[in-house]
Amino acid sequence: MDLPTASVLLSPQPQACSHLAEPCMERERSSFTQELGRDSTFPRGQLPSSSLTDADWFWDEHIQAKRARVETIVRGMCLSPSPLAPGSTRARDSSCCPEKARERKRKQSLPVQQGSLKADPAWDQGPRKGGPPVKEQLHLLKQQLRHLQAHILQAPEPSTPIQGPGGSEQRKGPLRAKQRNSLRSSLCTMDNDPQQGPNKDLCEAMKTRMAEVKHQSEEPMFCPSGAQVLLEILRKELSRAVSQAVDSVLQQVLLDPLGHLTQQDRSFQGLAPGGRSQPSPSGRGAYKDTLDLATLPRTVQPQAGFPLGNLSLTRPLDSPMCPISPREVSKLYQSPLSNYPLTTVPSHIQENKILRQLLGHGPKGHWSVSPPQDSSSQSHSSPKSTQQHWVLSQQQLPLPFTPAHEENRPLLPSVKMEQDSLQAVADSLPFSSIHIQEGLNPGHLKKAKLMFFFTRYPSSNLLKAYFPDVQFNRCITSQMIKWFSNFREFYYIQMEKYARQAISEGVTNPKMLVVLRDSELFRVLNMHYNKGNEFKVPDCFLEIASLTLQEFFRAMSVGKDSDPSWKKPIYKIISKLDNDIPEIFKSSNYSLELFRS
DNA sequence: CCACCACCTG
DNA sequence: CAGGTGGTGG
């Protein structure tokens, strides 16, 4: 969509390239045709959206770990092979409407849990020593889990504003939106010079893209706090219930008091990274699928790989939700781990490993998929190879997404819900597990430079949002603002320079000034903000750059540059053309990965 | 007064 | 890129 725009723009006027860009026409044309065939790589949609399930996965794992322990114990001690009835099959969908769910959960799960040990007849059958109590405990536990599952499933759908007209729009201020709109139109009217056929395409393309971006930015986020509360409660309740069950079982079954660890230890270690100590793998393997929880969408074998291998983290991707949108990635990204109270202080190292895994899929569809265009038009720095390298560095281990995965995506409606709630949770989470730095490091600078491709005038709030691992204070904020000020300075200087050059070369029509990827101007800018060319410069930046160039040209060609403050109007225009920054930039881990050092 | 900006300088 | 300065707007 947006990609072709640049090429479209320039095609008709050979001269346009002569001064701005190096060699051009022929190549450009061909690249243009190529582009038509391919999809836009920009903002969203390209990436499989949703691996938020991973958070659930962790959760499941937790439960399963506990369950496995209980089962193992029971199995080992009681030798009663009665398979547990599969409970509710689908117990996923963490809901976002905490209220009701929470209410019901409290009313039901608590009483049940604390209730008498009335034995279910069905569970009393079979010979066993010390059996009944144990079974009862398990049964109760199961029931509780089922209740929870049921309630979660029943919980009224959260505001799924996506469809609702009354959905929660406006993540950005209305003002901002307005500005965008007005600018968009002005941009188009300007470009809609009848004489310039191709520019219409640009206009349309930009409209489309902007709409896209806008849409993206307005995606709903709902009650983060609510969802978080719900999750917290669920977590506590479940862990408590399980712990109690385990406790009881142990007390009743185990004769040797030394035989059982403290409840805390037992119930938590299963999830701790590197947490080994799972009783008997064989036992677990044999029965893990018999509990209802095992029927949950993602049956994961906790100890199998989570802690160490990390390779196992690719597992969750099998789920229907594996497709992940950058947005989701970034969110999810901060969530599951840092949010995980049960993992007692996982090492940052391991955490980062895991996060890297998850993240690995984000950037791929987004930035690294280098368009054919690049290979043809960018001769000097072989972007393709560098980008591929970047892809590899980002996702060494995980399996790449395959079309097969995509097929599954649309399936579950619950998926979206789950995503949302998890997103909400993620959003509300502090970066507890990610060391927040005092000052700014080179990585931050690098990231800021790349962000400049999207925003020339970031607000301090935006910066705070996109540098979550930075401890902002007046000084840091000023410094970062200063960075962008310097970026702009360079940017405008280049624009003025090239505009002046165009004038000196006799260019009369500003529309002929288009910044392309093989333009000298682009090369200079890219060198400045994206040294090493590790990043695929978004097309929106090319559009902005072209526009800036044209504005400078217009002003100068009319002699406005004699006015001391002739640039101000241009600044004003450009300041309104900031694009939304991909959510992926919000991830501090992303920055760690990509911008380290 | 503060935050932010552009400009200039090193 | 950081410091310093002056201007601007809330």
For residue range A245-297, list pLDDT tens digits in order.
434 533 443 333 333 332 333 322 222 222 222 333 233 332 232 223 222 22
Binning pLDDT at 50, 70 and 90, where does residue A478 land?
very high
Residue by residue, DSSP assigns A177-202 as: HHHHHHHHHHHHHHHT-TT-HHHHHH
The answer on pLDDT for A527 being more than 80 is yes
**A155-197 pLDDT, tens per residue?**
433 333 323 233 233 333 333 333 333 333 333 333 333 333 3
Q: What is the per-residue pLDDT for A439?
A: 85
* A44-50 mean pLDDT: 29
> Quick one: tokens of A565?
């403050």
* A434-444 mean pLDDT: 81
Closest alpha carbon to C1' of B8, residue:
A489
Q: What is the per-residue pLDDT for A137?
A: 58
The answer on pLDDT for A525 being more than 90 is yes
What is the distance between the alpha carbons of residues A306 and A327, in angstroms, rounded to a whole number? Answer: 24
The answer on pLDDT for A523 being more than 50 is yes
Q: Which residue has the tokens 């100590």?
A: A277
What is the distance between the alpha carbons of residues A538 and A201, in angstroms, rounded to a whole number? Answer: 18
- A7-17 CB burial, b ≥16 within 10 A, e <16: bbbbbbbebbb
- State phi, psi for A49 to the nearest 5 degrees: -110, 110
**CB A164: neighbour CB atoms within 10 A?**
10
DSSP state, residue A261 = -
The answer on pLDDT for A89 being more than 80 is no
Binning pLDDT at 50, 70 and 90, where does residue A48 land?
very low
Protein A570 CA to nucleic acid B6 C1', in Å?
13
Q: Which nucleotide comes closest to A574 if you measure CA to C1'?
A: B5
Question: A51, A322 in Cβ contact below 8 A?
Answer: yes
Protein A442 CA to nucleic acid C2 C1', in Å?
14
Q: Where on strand B do bases come within 7 A of a protein Cβ?
A: 3-8
Higher-confidence residue of A488 and A5: namely A488
**A338-388 pLDDT, tens per residue?**
232 222 223 333 333 333 333 322 222 222 222 223 323 333 333 332 222
Give me the residues near strand B, CB below 7 A: A 457, 459-460, 474, 477-478, 481, 484-485, 488-489, 492, 565, 567, 571, 575
Q: Where on strand C do bases come within 7 A of a protein Cβ?
A: 1-3
Portion of chain A with pLDDT greater than 70, in percent: 25
Protein A176 CA to nucleic acid B5 C1', in Å?
19
pTM value > 0.75:
no
SS (H, E, C) A474-543: HHHHHHHHHHHHHHHHHHHHHHHHHHHHHHHCCCCCHHHCCCCCCEHHHHHHHHHHCCCCCCCCCHHHHH
- A69-92 CB burial, b ≥16 within 10 A, e <16: bbbbbbbebbebeeebeebbeebb
Question: Where is mean pLDDT largest: A256-260, A433-437, A549-553?
Answer: A549-553
Q: What is the per-residue pLDDT for A436?
A: 73
Average pLDDT, chain A: 50
Protein A482 CA to nucleic acid C6 C1', in Å?
16
Q: Which nucleotide comes closest to A481 if you measure CA to C1'?
A: B4
Q: What is the per-residue pLDDT for A587?
A: 78
* A574-583 mean pLDDT: 94
Higher-confidence residue of A34 and A476: namely A476
Q: Measure CA A523 to chain center.
A: 30
Give me the residues near strand C, CB below 7 A: A 440, 445, 448-449, 479, 482-483, 486
Q: Which nucleotide comes closest to A489 if you measure CA to C1'?
A: B6
